[in-house]
Homo-oligomer: A and B are copies of this chain.
């Protein structure tokens, strides 16, 4: 009389609409926490609650898993940005960009972390894609600064460098902000906007 508790096949209640997103969420969290190279497919599978082989119903390989997460993040970023109505005044546009950048990134700490730290773990072709999307996002900021300079509203020595400096300052908020801290997101936005406003002032 033998009884096998562990089955060797499809498990009760299993459904790709549930497992699929769980694979992505779990991979994102583990990649953010420990790094892509340090996380094994078996670890991801264990946290999802399946065997490692089952992951390959949802991704072609580990590299695609990383790339799809980063690609999805960048698409979300550009889509969300495009959904904001375009303004005219460079100062208002810069304030809008600043506030958008901060709250968008603070709501996606894991994705931001992975999208920056794991660039070197992308294959060359995948890297080129992500890099292109990132560039597209930064180009808007550069355009804002250029327009502001042209209209005599901003005092910026080098537009390209200032673009990267502003992005670096803004993204840096993700290293210290925690939701349970003393400041709300809008308060943080205002503090950074005050700094950025002065940084580019004439």
Q: Which residues of A contact B (CB under 8 A)?
A: 33-35, 37-38, 117, 120-121, 155, 157-158, 161-162, 164-169, 171-173, 175-176, 188, 191-192, 194-195, 198-201
Contact = CB atoms under 8 A, between A and B. Distances in A.
A172 B175 CA distance: 13
Nearest to A161: B191
Given A38-B121, A195-B199, A175 B165 contact: no
Contacts of A175: 164, 168
Tally of this chain's copies: 2
A121 B33 CA distance: 10
Interface centre among A33, A188, A191 (most CB of B within 10 A): A191
A160 to B, nearest CB: 8
Nearest to A39: B37
A164 B158 contact: no
A120 to B, nearest CB: 6
Nearest to A157: B191
Contacts of A172: 164-165, 167-169, 172
A35 B37 contact: yes
A157 B194 contact: yes
A11 B200 CA distance: 60
Contact of A38 (B37, B168, B173, B199): B37
